[in-house]
Structure 1
Amino acid sequence: MRKTGITLLTAFFGGAVAIGGYKLVESNNTDKMGIEDKQKVYFASNPMNVSSAGDVDFVQAAAAVTPAVVHIQTTYEGKGRDAGGGDPFEDMFRDFFGSPRNAQRPPAMASGSGVIVTDDGYIVTNNHVVEDATKIEVILPDNRSFQAKVIGRDPNTDLALIKVAGTKLPVVKLGNSDNVQVGEWVLAVGYPLTLNTTVTAGIVSAKGRAIGILGQDESEGRNFDRNQPRVNSAIESFIQTDAAINRGNSGGALVNTRGELIGINAAIASQTGYYAGYGFAIPVNLAKKIMDDFIKYGAVRRGFVGVTFQELNSSRAKELGVNEISGLYVNTVVEGGGAAAAGIKKGDVITKVDGARIMGSSDLQERVARLRPGDKVQLTYVRDGKERTVSVTLKGEDEVKIAGGSGRSAEELYNRLGASFSPLPSAQKQRYNISSGVVITEVRRGGVFAENGIEKGTIITSINGKAVGKPDDIDAALSSSRNNMIRLNGISPDGSRIMMTFPVTN
C-alpha cells in the first residue's frame, strides 16, 4: 500500500514538473508561436464543452463563440471608398461591407466584423474591411474598445490580420475546413446592419465555390514585386452557406456546432446588396496559413505551380479533343516554374492534387495557396490517355519568368487576343446589373482567347482592373498590363461570372 502511494506521489510530482516546465517554455516562446500553437496553449487551459456536430442545439456553440466575435469600426480621413471604376463586383463588396454610398465626404465611416484567434489580441477579418482605413476601432461584445493596427493584408484572399493591445481575451477555436461536409449545420456570427452581435443558423450548401469577386487591382499593400508576373493570384474556394448574413457580417465567424471556426464570412450573392440566400466564407485552413505568414514573415509567401489552365466539362473537352470531362486543361506552362521542371506540358489534364480529385480550379488553387515556395505538391495528370503523378516544387513569384519578355504595345496585345468586340446593349447591362461591358463577337483560332477557352458571346466587364465599355477602352486597359499578364473579369455565355489571369506569349 505504501509502495503504491509513493508511486502515485512520484507520478503526480513528475506531472507537476512537466506542466511547470511547459509553462516556463510557453512564457518564453509565445511571441514566436504561430496562431495554431497559441490556440493549443489557450485551449489547454480553457477547454470547450459544446455539443457534437450532429446536435441541432446551437446554444452551447453560440455561447462559446459570440464573446470573441468583434465589431470593427473604420474611419477614412480624406479618402473616399467609392472608387469602383464600373466593376460590378466592387459594388457587391461595398454593399456587403456596409460602407456608405457617398464616401467622398471625409471622414468616411464603415463597419464590419472580426474574430479573435489568440488571447493576446490577434484578430482575423476581411481585407476589404480594413483596407485604406486610417483608424480601426475594435469593440468587444462586453463593450471594451481597442485601437487596432494592421499586421498584414492580402487582397488575393480577402484576408487581413489586425492586432489590439489586449490580454486574456476570449478566443474562437480554429477548426478544420477540410472536414466540413455539405449539409452540415453551421452558425454565422457577426454585426449585420449595425446590429449588435447576431447569430444565424444554416447549412453548408457547397464547397470550393469560385464566384469571381476577388479582383486583382494594383492596390497598395499587396506584397508583391511589381516587376514580376503574378500567375493565378486571386484565390477563391469559398464555403457556401444559407445562414443569413448581411452588410456588416464581413470578417465575421462561420462556425460548426462544436463552436469551431471553419470560415471567415466574406461575401453574399445578391442583386440588392441584402441577403438573398447565398453567403460565402473563406476556409479557415487557408486563413491559418495567411495569418502565420503575416506573423512570421510580415507578408504572404505564395508558391506557384507555374501553369495557366481552363476547367473542363463535357462540351469543352469535346472542343479541345480530350477524353477527360473534369480536371484542368493546361493552356501554358510558365518558363522556370515548378510544373515545367516536373515535365508537365501544354495539353496535359491535371486531375488530382495530393491524391484528391480536381473538379474545378478552386480545388487546386486553395490547396496550393496553403503552401509556400519550396514546398512540394503531388499532381496527377493525363497525357495521351496515360495517367502520371509527379512531385512539383512550388516556386516564388521572383523565380518564374513569362516567355516572350515584356514591353509589348497595347496594339500588339490586342491583336494577340484574337477576338472582336462590340459595345454591350443596354438590355444586357440591365439583365446582369452591370454598368459597363463589351461582348465578344468573334474568337479567332490561335489567339489567346481561343487558347484559354473564352467563347464568343462572353461579356468582358474589366481588363486589368479597368472597366471596359467600348472597344477603344480595351487598348487603354491593355496598356496597364505588366509582364504581358492580362487579368479579366466578365460573364460567360451561360451567365456565370468568370475571372481569369493569363500570359500573352509569342
Structure 2
Amino acid sequence: MIFRTTTSSVVLALCATMTSAIPIQQGTADTQKAIAEERLSVIVQAVQKVSPSVASVVVSGIQRVPIFNDPFYRDFFGLGPATTRRFTVQSGSAVMISSAGEFLTNQHVVGGADTIRLLLPNGESRLAEVIGTSPELDVALLKCNPEGMEPAQLGAAKNLLVGEWLVAVGYPVGGRRGLTEESRVRPTVTVGVVSALERSFVPSTRQQTRSSLFYPDMIQTDAAINPGNSGGPLANASGEVVGINTFILSDTGGSQGLGFAIPIERALKAADEIRTYGRVRRVNFSGLQFYRSISDEKAASIGLEEGQGLMVADPGIAGEAGLRRDDVILDVDRKSVRNFDDAQLALVPRFVGDQVTLGVWRNESRIELQLVLTEAQDQ
C-alpha cells in the first residue's frame, strides 16, 4: 500500500512537473522572440538600411601645411603663417545618392586632393573622380563605379521634428594605425536626436570649424560626430538621409554633443547644379548695397517700432523686382533680417532660379516684393 501510494505520488508529481514545464518552455520561447524583436528596433533597421550606401573617403595629395603655428611666437615676433608643401593623407565619409555611382560629401573633405579613393562596405577600394564642388556651400559630388552598391534612400530635413531620433553613419576612425583592414570597411554608427533646427553660423575666427563660410539653417544633433564623419549621412529613424554631417563645435576636437549637418535638400540642389553645369552657379546680387544699420531715431522717423532691418543704399539688380533706395528690408522669406549677417544667411543658400519674397518697409507700411534670382555673369 505504501509502495503503491508512493509510486502513485511519484507519478502524480512527475505528471505535475511535466505539465508545469510546458508553459515555462513556451514562455521562454515567447521571451526569446520578444527579445529578438526588441533588438531589431527601428534604429537598428535604419542603420541596416543606410549603412550599405556609405563609403570611406581617403584623400591624398600635396598640400600646404603650417610649419610654425605657435600663437605665442607668431604674435610676439610678428611672424606670418609660414607653410611648406607636404604629402598628406586624410579621410572622411560619403554617401551614395544615385545608381550612377554619385556620392555626396563635403568640399573640405576632398579639396586640394590629387587622388581620391572610396573604401566600400564590401571591402573594395575604388578610385573616384570629382564631378564638381561648391566651396561656398561646402558640398562636393564624386563618382565611382557603382557595382555592388545601392544608393541611400533620401528624406527631407524640412519634415524633421526637434527630439526625434537620428543616426550618424561614417568613418571617424579612418585609416588609423592598429585598425585591421576588415574593421576599416565597417562604418561607425552613433545615435542621437534632433537637438535643434535652423542653426546658422557666420564666419568667425573663433569657431573651430570652416570659419570663413556661412552655414545657414543647419541641423543640430547630439549624435557623436568626430573627425572623419564629415561628408557622411545623417539619417532619420526610417533610414532616410536628411543631412550631410559637416562639423562640430568642440573645445577638445572630439564630439561634445554639438554636431551640425547640411540639410539634404540644399546638398541635393547643389549636386543638381554640379551635375548640370559642373559648378554651382553664382547668384547675381550685383549693385545691391545696404547702410550699416538703422538708428532708433531713424526707425522712429519712418514709422518703424524698432530699429531693425536693413536700409537699402542701392537696390542694384533687385531694382528689377521693385526694390528702391531707402526701403528697409525686414525679412527674407519671412525670416527676420536685423543686420547684414542675417541678410547673408538668408541669401547664401539660394540658387539661380529661386524666387525670394522680400518683406519691405516703405511709406510706413509693410509690402512684399518677389525677387527671382538670376545668374551672375562675371565668372
Deviations 1:233-266 (A, max 9, x none): 8453311111110110110111111111111111
Distance 1:160 1:321, change over 3 A: same
Measure, in 1, the Cα distance between the counterparts of 2:173 and 2:236: 23
Q: In structure 1, what is the equivalent of residue 367 of structure 2? A: 388
Q: In structure 2, what is the equivalent of residue 73 of structure 1? A: 58
Measure, in 2, the Cα distance between the counterparts of 1:86 and 1:174: 44
Letter in 2 for 1:207: L
Q: In structure 1, what is the equivalent of residue 163 of structure 2? A: 183
Which of 194, 198, 202 is equivalent to 1:208? 198
Tell me if structure 1 keeps the 8 A contact 2:94–2:231. Answer: yes
Which of 53, 58, 71 is equivalent to 2:43? 58
Tell me if structure 2 keeps the 8 A contact 1:331–1:346. Answer: yes
Distance 1:105 1:156, change over 3 A: closer
Q: In structure 1, what is the equivalent of residue 119 of structure 2? A: 139
What SS does structure 2 have at the residue aligned with 1:382? strand
Normalising by structure 1, we get a TM-score of 0.54
Letter in 2 for 1:329: L
Q: In structure 1, what is the equivalent of residue 355 of structure 2? A: 376
- Please say which structure displays the higher CA radius of gyration: 2
Mean CA deviation greater in 195-204 or 261-270: 195-204
Letter in 1 for 2:299: G
1:108 and 2:98 matched: no
What SS does structure 2 have at the residue aligned with 1:118? coil
What SS does structure 2 have at the residue aligned with 1:321? helix
1:329 and 2:329 matched: no
1:198 and 2:182 matched: no
Identical columns (%): 33
Query: Post-superposition shift, 1:80?
Result: 2.9
Query: Post-superposition shift, 1:76?
Result: 1.1
Distance 1:136 1:119, change over 3 A: same
Tell me if structure 2 keeps the 8 A contact 1:309–1:328. Answer: no
What SS does structure 1 have at the residue aligned with 2:231? coil
Q: CA RMSD in A?
A: 3.6
Measure, in 1, the Cα distance between the counterparts of 2:365 and 2:122: 61
Measure, in 2, the Cα distance between the counterparts of 1:386 and 1:399: 36
Q: In structure 2, what is the equivalent of residue 358 of structure 1? A: 336
Distance 1:258 1:150, change over 3 A: same
Q: In structure 2, what is the equivalent of residue 291 of structure 1? A: 271
Query: Post-superposition shift, 1:86?
Result: 9.7
Distance 1:85 1:212, change over 3 A: farther
Tell me if structure 1 keeps the 8 A contact 2:292–2:310. Answer: yes
Normalising by structure 2, we get a TM-score of 0.70
Letter in 2 for 1:294: I
Which of 260, 273, 277 is equivalent to 1:280? 260
Which of 251, 265, 286 is equivalent to 2:231? 251
Distance 1:344 1:58, change over 3 A: farther
Tell me if structure 2 keeps the 8 A contact 1:305–1:392. Answer: no
Query: Post-superposition shift, 1:119?
Result: 1.8
Measure, in 2, the Cα distance between the counterparts of 1:145 and 1:288: 25
Measure, in 1, the Cα distance between the counterparts of 2:326 and 2:67: 38
Deviations 1:354-392 (A, max 9, x none): xx44367668746763431x5432222223431101111
Deviations 1:381-439 (A, max 9, x none): 22343110111122322379xxxxxxxxxxxxxxxxxxxxxxxxxxxxxxxxxxxxxxx
What SS does structure 2 have at the residue aligned with 1:58? helix
Measure, in 2, the Cα distance between the counterparts of 1:310 and 1:127: 33
Letter in 2 for 1:127: Q
Measure, in 2, the Cα distance between the counterparts of 1:214 and 1:183: 29
Distance 1:327 1:153, change over 3 A: farther
Letter in 2 for 1:391: Q
Mean CA deviation greater in 201-210 or 292-301: 201-210
Tell me if structure 1 keeps the 8 A contact 2:129–2:143. Answer: yes
Distance 1:148 1:345, change over 3 A: same
Measure, in 2, the Cα distance between the counterparts of 1:83 and 1:318: 49
Deviations 1:39-84 (A, max 9, x none): xxxxxxxxxxxxxxxx97301111110111110001013x234499
Letter in 1 for 2:87: P
Alignment of 1:81-92 (within 5 A): 81-82=65-66
Measure, in 1, the Cα distance between the counterparts of 2:67 and 2:315: 33
1:118 and 2:108 matched: no
What SS does structure 1 have at the residue aligned with 2:273? helix
Measure, in 1, the Cα distance between the counterparts of 2:230 and 2:259: 10
Measure, in 2, the Cα distance between the counterparts of 1:152 and 1:308: 31
Tell me if structure 1 keeps the 8 A contact 2:216–2:348. Answer: no
Tell me if structure 2 keeps the 8 A contact 1:245–1:268. Answer: yes
Distance 1:168 1:318, change over 3 A: farther
1:165 and 2:155 matched: no
Give unpaired runs (5+ residues) of structure 1. 1-54, 88-102, 216-231, 401-506
Letter in 2 for 1:80: R
1:398 and 2:351 matched: no
Deviations 1:426-473 (A, max 9, x none): xxxxxxxxxxxxxxxxxxxxxxxxxxxxxxxxxxxxxxxxxxxxxxxx
Distance 1:346 1:71, change over 3 A: farther
What SS does structure 1 have at the residue aligned with 2:272? helix
Tell me if structure 2 keeps the 8 A contact 1:249–1:265. Answer: yes
What SS does structure 2 have at the residue aligned with 1:294? helix
Measure, in 1, the Cα distance between the counterparts of 2:110 and 2:366: 46
Q: In structure 1, what is the equivalent of residue 180 of structure 2? A: none
Letter in 1 for 2:60: T
